[in-house]
Structure 1
Amino acid sequence: MQIDSARVFMLRMPLKEPWKTSFGAQSDIDTVLVRLTSGETTGWGEAAPGTWPRFCGEWGEPTFTLVRDYLLPRLAGAAVDDIDALTGLFAEIRGNTFAKAAVETAWWALRGAIEGRPLSSYAGGTRAAVPAGADFDIHADTGELLAKIADAVGSGCPRVKLKMGRGTKISQLREVRRAFPGATLHVDCNATFRRDDIDRLALLDPLGLAMIEQPLAEDDLLGHAELQRRLETPVCLDESVRSLHDLETALELGSCGYVNVKPGRVGGLRAAADIGELAARSGVGAVVGNMLESPVGAQVCLALASCDWATYPADLFASERFFPTPLAAHDIASPPGGEWEFTVTTTPGNPAVPYDDVLSRWLIADSGEVTT
């Protein structure tokens, strides 16, 4: 497959309202979009590392710079016929999984458009529709939080995720459980706790949570193993798993019962599918997560969530959940009467294509066309 030209964009996408996690509140999200062209065919990819290195060591500006100055010049003008050839072009570049994912997902989208295949077929997906859950950020007002959960549960939401930080009171989570005794609930800590918090985290065990997501630091697999030995509640690793090797190590140590699979965090569609397949072979549950991507990235997450190894309702959302306007056409969508599920597209490649006017409005940086 000949790559005739490539282009990378950095956008700052405004959120409808600030999203509060253990990192703090964010009012926008920086994302990196890549467009690859072969003849008259194009493919779009995305990775959204954020506006500052809070989730991990990557963020929008250096991700854009790496793609523009190092990745695209290796790719433009080259014939890249398989995924091994693509990853081989970038093998000498360590880490920087979001930068690689932006390019890799665009390559799959271009290949799918040429071959007439949807992204889900490359991920190994078989489902026509996938379930998704509701996520709620940190709330100081428990009554407000309970009302939002009630709306979600009342409309058939299959599970609820609550963001949890050091300031979150266990008593608030107990109130949630009392109000919704039969609901599937889990908490996401975004690596905010330390090993000396294990006794506090053990207080979550009686709540019957489906999982506790990323409670400790991303590099503390031993701490997560210690915590998992203390708890009946499964530990879910997110930031800790940046590669297949990371999951292999976590499994050997007994650090988790679930893994959150995010294509940007691990380097793209193929790496994410490999991690999900390893989880399934090892008896570990998997959930497909998101980084507040636009519809371009959401389509990649949806393709992964269509795989059999995705055993827990996904973190997927239509753009209207977080953004004042969609960046792209062909946002992910629910079937009639299926508010908490999304239809897996059969359109070849990635059907989400940015609107020119919205892209221009949110544009921070543009490489221009790279042809050699």
Structure 2
Amino acid sequence: MKLSAAELRFVSLPLVTPFRTSLGTQAVRNALVLRLETSLGEGWAECVADDEPSYSPEYLTGAADVIRRLFLPKLFAMGELDPAGVAVALDGFRGHPMAKSAVETAVLDASLRATGMCLSTYLGGVRRRVPVGVSVGITDTIDELLGLVDRYLTAGYLRIKLKIEPGWDIEPVRAVRETFGSSVPLTVDANTAYRPGDIRHLRGLDEFGLLLVEQPFPPEDLHSHARLAAAMETPLCLDESITSARDAATALRQGACSVINIKPGRVGGYLEARRVHDVAQAHGVPVWCGGMLETGLGRAANLALASLPGFQLPGDISATARYYTQDITEPFSLADGHLEVPTAPGIGITPDPASLARLTTSTEWITP
């Protein structure tokens, strides 16, 4: 399979409601869509980098630049494209895992479409539908928060994740527990908002019977995560700290977590995401699939990943309507708290041409 041309397309999708975390508030999801034209057909993917380098060092226009100037010329120069070979070729460039993930996924999509295999089967998936949860952003009032949680529980979501930060943690969690009861699977996510001096305060979350506390400290601070994990009864989950299977093994050896959130964009693609999954399984540690406000392209591929056997907790792969009134693909709908894993070849979905055109802000074709 040889690459003949590529398209970089920026799209802009307004969110149904602004989404606030400890990192900031987002009202629009800008995404980079990559389409590869190959000798065996086309492949699609999206880059999940944010507009600014807040969640990670990558940002969207920077990812487009490195794909355009460095990654695509490398692919054009390769005699034959295959997913494993592309991953090795791009490994020569340091960093930029979200850009690498987009390129690898587009190659995977084209290759699997040509062979008639779906991504779930290729990765080793064992489920045809996966349980999903929902992430609830920080709100102005507790009453507003309770209204959102009620809406999502009524919709059928099987797990609620509350975003927290200093000053918005104990009391919102307490209010949700007192309102909806102890049977609701509940987690919290700090997105690195706390510091080592907050360990005693964070231990106060133990009283609420949470499934896990996610990433309270900066990514590089495994020591503080290990200290908190030893001090808390609640399982500790790492997100931003895990950028590779090696990171996962290191964190587990150091006792810094007992649950891992796997985001393919953060670790450099679905092949490395599968390796993180395998490391966690070898340690007897559950994993789940996090979300990055993906379009339908990323949501489809994440569902394939979440079909692997080690994904024991509902992921942040919410239905399309949770985030967008209009997506670039056909919507994914919730049924009994589950989403169907795409079974069509490749990632299992392609953009709707009319929707894609309507939401596009710019496009660029690149040839050898």
TM over 0.5: yes
- The whole-number CA distance in structure 2 between the counterparts of 1:29 and 1:218 is 24
1: CA distance, partners of 2:12 / 2:147: 31
Deviations for 1:303-337, whole angstroms, at most 9, x for unmatched residues? 001010101011112322212311123x3344xxx
Partner SS state of residue 45, structure 1: strand
Task: Please identify, of 262-271 and 21-30, the stretch whose mean Cα deviation from structure 2 is larger.
Answer: 21-30
Aligned to 2:182: 181
Match of 1:346 in 2: 343
- Give RMSD over aligned pairs: 1.7
Deviation at 1:175, TM superposition (A): 1.8
Matched, 1:196 2:170: no
SS class of match (1:15): strand
Give the AA of the match of 2:365. G
1:369 is aligned to 366
2 CA distance for matches of 1:16 and 1:156? Answer: 18
Deviation, 1:365, is: 4.1
Shift of 1:275: 0.4
- Equivalent position of 1:86 in the other structure: 86
Deviation of the 1:364 alpha carbon:
4.2
Give the ranges of 4+ consecutive aligned residues of structure 1 lying more than 4 Å apart after TM superposition.
Answer: none
Cα distance in 1 for residues equivalent to 2:274 and 2:109: 15
Q: Tell whether 2:234 aligns with 1:237.
A: no
Task: Give the corresponding residue for 2:131.
Answer: 131
Identity of matched residues, %: 33
Per the normalisation by structure 2, the TM-score is 0.95
Indicate conservation of the 8 Å contact 1:259/1:287, yes or no: yes
Aligned to 2:272: 271
Code of the residue aligned with 1:78 in structure 2: it is M
Looking at structure 2, the residues matched to 360 and 81 of structure 1 have their Cα atoms a distance apart, in angstroms, of: 28
Structure 2: 5+ residue stretches without partners: none
Find the counterpart in structure 2 of residue 143 from structure 1. 143
Q: 1:266, CA displacement in angstroms? A: 0.6
**Would you say the 8 A contact 1:29–1:48 is kept in 2?**
no
Kindly state the Cα deviation for residue 8 of structure 1 after the two structures are TM-superposed: 2.1
State the secondary structure of the residue aligned to 2:200.
helix
> After superposition, where does 1:223-262 map in structure 2 within 5 Å?
223-262=224-263
1:45-98 deviations in Å (ceiling 9; x for gaps): 112111111111111010010001110111126333533311122122111000
State the SS of the aligned residue for 1:301: helix
Q: TM-score, normalised by structure 1?
A: 0.94
- Contact 1:68 / 1:367 at 8 angstroms: preserved in 2? no
Asked whether 1:63 is paired with 2:63, we answer yes
Give the Cα–Cα distance (whole angstroms) in 2 for the partners of residues 343 and 356 of structure 1. 23
Contact in 2 for aligned 1:80/1:86 (Cα 8 Å):
no
Structure 1: gaps of 5 or more residues: none
SS at structure 2 position matched to 1:34: strand
